[in-house]
Amino acid sequence: MELLVIPLVLAIISGFATKQLLKYLALFGTLLTFLLIAYRSWEYFGSSELVTLYSLNASSAFKCSFHLAYDGITLLMLLLNGIIFPLLVLAYYHTKWINNNRFVSMMFLMQFALIGVFLSMDVLLFYVFWEITLIPIFLIAYWFGSGERKKALIKFFIFTFVGSLAMLFSIIYLGSFTNSFNYSDVVSLGLTKEVAVWVMFGFLIAFAVKAPIFPLHSWQPDTYVSSPSPGTILLSALMLKMALYGMVRWMIPLAPEAIEVFRYPVIILSIIGIIYAAIIAIRLDDIKRVFAYASISHVGLIAGGIMIFTKDSLYASFLQMLNHGLIALALFMSAGILEERLQTRSLAQMGGVAKLAPRFAMFFAIIAFASVSVPFSMGFVGEFLLLKEIYSFSWISGLLAGTTLILGAIYTLRAYQLSMFSAPKISEFKDLHFNEWLVYIKISILLVVLGLFPHFIFDLVGPSIDKLLDSVFTINLLK
């Protein structure tokens, strides 16, 4: 319970706090949440039980209950959440953002809603938290974003809101077959196939918009570009994970009967997305846009892996989610550093930064290599396992998805080469300051250590995934 209350209280306090206090609030508040989550994960390690934090039957007319609980999967998402926020605050500690009451307040509200999304064990409660996340990120992007952002943000809001309405339809429709939206009740419903298809379709639309999966992605690059860089980090490292988490936790267990119907279309769309986004990323000039499309490409692979829904693919998907979260933080932070110090996002106007800022160049290189999944990085384990699973599902899709390794290397290294090494076009570039350096070091260590010892993550999520798979498949077999 305290996991939810602390960010909410901090969100209210930081709306009125003085400038000096605000920085400490932001740093120590996010650290406190991280420590609490880390403690709970440590205690939980190796178990597969659903630990209930708080449970209250709210109302029979709404069929909803206030049920918060966690298992290994939830804890991994919470850990990602807990790691990203302090790093975000640290990286932007001296900037105008962390000195702004509205920003810090909205950041804490975002954390509150995200923790709620991951903890809620009731469909309606999940929907409520899911929608709350939209407001703070929208306001952050609107208040602190750059350029002509009004149109992009209206597009963003309408896309995600309409997607969520599709999910609301599924929830309401599901409600006519059950008397309680509690997790344990809805996963054991045993819907007929027709109903299951409709239910899964609604959820899929909502998650495909937020992830985003190929034909519904058009809001994403515009929104990423017009948000301030901490906003982009929140969007890409955390908000998009909500959708992937939702697919595993809600969409498939709710209507496993329909997975056969949607497996092929979603995997095909993900593969189209992987290739399409990568090819666009190769041609682009705007560094933030390159990483935005890279994000579509990487998420496509994870979404495809989730739809295969085997033990290995789920293990790898969760590892990739963590990996993608950390890399997104580092990549968009690098893009933000370049943008802030050069006042441009255009790759054509950069060049020769490596000479002026060797430390930055080194860390950017580490992150870039981790992003293209070289061995010894976390991405290698995850991507390898995912490709293996997609390959054994169907060789042709494995082959096509495999191009992500080559294309990914091309667009990432191209962006790196153009900005860091090409003929010098700038004369001055301030190297990393201490805080940014600290953030890079932490992320690099995490990426390498978890690349060498991924079983830390597997031990945390593994038992819960096994249990989830068991429950989904026994329901399918019983019918």
Scan for tokens 């026994």, then name that residue: 474
For the bound state, the minimum distance from the C-beta of residue 322 to other proteins, rounded and expressed in Å, comes to 28
Q: Given the complex with other proteins, which of 168 and 272 has the nearer CB atom?
A: 168
For the bound state, the minimum distance from the C-beta of residue 30 to other proteins, rounded and expressed in Å, comes to 23
Binding positions for other proteins, rule: CB under 8 A: 58-62, 124, 127-128, 131-132, 134-135, 139, 142-143, 150, 153-154, 157-158, 161-162, 165-166, 168-169, 172-173, 175-176
Spatial separation of the C-alpha atoms in residues 154 and 149, rounded to whole Å: 9
| Contact call for residues 187 and 471 (beta carbons, < 8 A) | yes
For the bound state, the minimum distance from the C-beta of residue 95 to other proteins, rounded and expressed in Å, comes to 19
Q: Please tell me what DSSP assigns to residue 256.
A: G
Taking only Cα atoms into account, the Rg of the chain, rounded to an integer number of angstroms, comes to 21
Q: Given the complex with other proteins, which of 201 and 318 has the nearer CB atom?
A: 201
Q: Given the complex with other proteins, which of 16 and 28 has the nearer CB atom?
A: 16
- From residue 89, alpha-carbon distances to 72, 104, 329, 333 in Å are 26, 9, 12, 12
φ/ψ bin of 147: left (φ > 0), alpha (ψ from -120 to 50), beta (otherwise):
left
Q: Given the complex with other proteins, which of 219 and 293 has the nearer CB atom?
A: 219
| Contact call for residues 226 and 149 (beta carbons, < 8 A) | yes
Q: Given the complex with other proteins, which of 61 and 477 has the nearer CB atom?
A: 61
For the bound state, the minimum distance from the C-beta of residue 195 to other proteins, rounded and expressed in Å, comes to 11
Q: Given the complex with other proteins, which of 205 and 354 has the nearer CB atom?
A: 205
For the bound state, the minimum distance from the C-beta of residue 247 to other proteins, rounded and expressed in Å, comes to 21
Q: Given the complex with other proteins, which of 77 and 167 has the nearer CB atom?
A: 167
Structure tokens, 298: 């990487």
For the bound state, the minimum distance from the C-beta of residue 162 to other proteins, rounded and expressed in Å, comes to 4
φ/ψ bin of 343: left (φ > 0), alpha (ψ from -120 to 50), beta (otherwise):
left
Tell me the H-state helices in 309-377: 311-342, 353-356, 358-371
- Compute how many other C-beta atoms are within 10 angstroms of the C-beta atom of residue 98: 22
Spatial separation of the C-alpha atoms in residues 231 and 225, rounded to whole Å: 10
Spatial separation of the C-alpha atoms in residues 366 and 348, rounded to whole Å: 22
For the bound state, the minimum distance from the C-beta of residue 260 to other proteins, rounded and expressed in Å, comes to 23
